Amino acid sequence: MQLYYHPLYSDLILPERHRFPIQKYKLLKTEIEKLGVSAIHFQEPKKATKSQLSLCHNQTYINNFLNGTLSNKAIKKMGFPYSNELVERTLLSVGASIQSSEHALKHGFSANLSGGYHHAYSDYGSGFCIFNDLAIAAAHLINTEQADTVLIFDCDVHQGDGTAQITQNHDQIITCSIHCEQNFPRNKQESTYDFALPAKTTDAEYLATLEQALDFCVRIHNPDIILYNAGADIYTKDELGLFDVSLNGVYKRDFFTLNFCKQHQIPLMCGLGGGYQRNLSSLINVHKQLFKAAIDL
Ligand SMILES: [Zn+2]
């Protein structure tokens, strides 16, 4: 099992009380190592190139971000203070999702211990998302003729609005978002398929929707690969999510998705997605369910 990770994922200096739990990546890696599975290999990613970013993003936006010429308003919307480390980290995270997707195509499964930056639009960043790694990975696989059809299966509690906007005219990229209607973003975009569930949705309702949605997307579109946003913010205690899904519900979601892909022999790449509990050990435990499911498979 190849997992893509870079120390810079967590090495970003943020102001005290900043909402983003930047330490989670490093802590998660340590927790995965504690599972003691020898088949797990951590791979350092290479940075995404400008031409890869251009597959999904506007040139002016890319240049402004890379050169440090974004407006203060744009930086505020993005959600992170601007720094050279942020640029490095962003390019590594996107590169990791691209390389992880290529690895999954060859070997069946892979994950990036970052990624799932689905609020990034073609010409601006939003909600802690700068470049849309899963949309870029999908466009890259199609552009290099490694895949004909890619399904982005987004199970973060927030809608994949940026992904929907970026891929709206790209008929080889299918987007499916299962999210909470009342959560950010207020103005939802149109994915290929949207499953907007109400606040306080519990395990049974959530899992029934998930199973139907994945089965439907695969039957209709027969994707060559699935890029899965495994957001941990569906968990009931997440401060930025409104679902009532239990820890076991998160495990069942991840296990179902992984097992479905295995049974149908569809390569699967996973991005970590959101997860914002201030209690870091509880947060890591939610993200860890994905890797437990991968090991249990
Ligand atoms: Zn989220």
Distance 209 CA to ligand 1 centre (A): 18
Element (H, E) at 151: strand 150-154
**What pairing do the DSSP bridges indicate for beta strands 41-43 and 225-229?**
unpaired
**DSSP 8-state class, residue 122:** S
Comparing CA positions, the residue from 189, 212, 87, 101 lying closest to residue 152 is 101
Give the separation between CA 5 and CA 2, rounded to whole angstroms. 10
Task: Please write down the long-range contacts of 16-23, taking CB distance under 8 Å and 24 or more positions apart.
Answer: 19/79, 19/240, 19/276, 20/79, 20/80, 20/128, 20/276, 21/275, 21/276, 21/277, 21/278, 21/280, 21/283, 23/280
Distance 289 CA to ligand 1 centre (A): 16
* Distance (Å) from CA 19 to ligand 1 centroid: 13
- Report if pTM > 0.95: yes
Hunting for tokens 């930047």 — which residue is that? 22
Measured in Å, residue 145 CA sits from the centre of ligand 1 at: 30
DSSP 3-state of 123: coil
Q: What is the mean pLDDT of residues 232-245?
A: 98
For 116-138, how does the pLDDT look when each residue is reduced to its tens digit (9 = 90+)? 999 999 999 999 999 999 999 99
Q: What is the pLDDT of residue 17?
A: 87
pLDDT at 37: 87
Look at residue 177 and give its three-state secondary structure.
Answer: strand
Structure tokens, 279: 């209690």
For residue 102, report the distance from its CA to the centre of ligand 1, in Å.
Answer: 25
Q: 158: CA distance to ligand 1 center in Å?
A: 4
The DSSP symbol for 198 reads P
At residue 38 the predicted structure's pLDDT band, cuts being 50, 70 and 90, is confident
In angstroms, what is the span from residue 143 Cα to ligand 1's centroid? 28
Q: Which amino acid is present at 234?
A: I
The mean of the pLDDT values for the chain is: 97
Question: What is the number of structural domains in the chain?
Answer: 1
Per the listing, tokens 């050169």 go with 67
**pLDDT for the residue numbered 104:** 98
The tokens describing 283, both together, are 């947060």
Containing structural domain, residue 231: 2-296
Number of Cβ within 10 Å of residue 240's Cβ equals 15
- We report the CATH number of the domain holding residue 119 as 3.40.800.20
Q: Rounded to the nearest whole angstrom, what is the distance from the C-alpha of residue 232 to the centroid of ligand 1?
A: 8
Give SS3 for 139: helix
DSSP string, 218-284: HHHH--SEEEEE--GGGBTT-TT---BB-HHHHHHHHHHHHHHHHHTT--EEEE------SSHHHHH
Which two tokens mark 44? Answer: 């350092």
Tokens at 208, concatenated: 């029934």
CA of 38 to the centre of ligand 1 (A): 31
d(CA 57, CA 65): 11
Q: 76-92 b/e with 16+ CB inside 10 Å = b? A: eebbbeeeeebbebbbb
Tell me the pLDDT tens digit for each residue of 170-221. Answer: 999 999 999 999 999 999 999 999 999 999 999 999 999 999 999 999 999 9
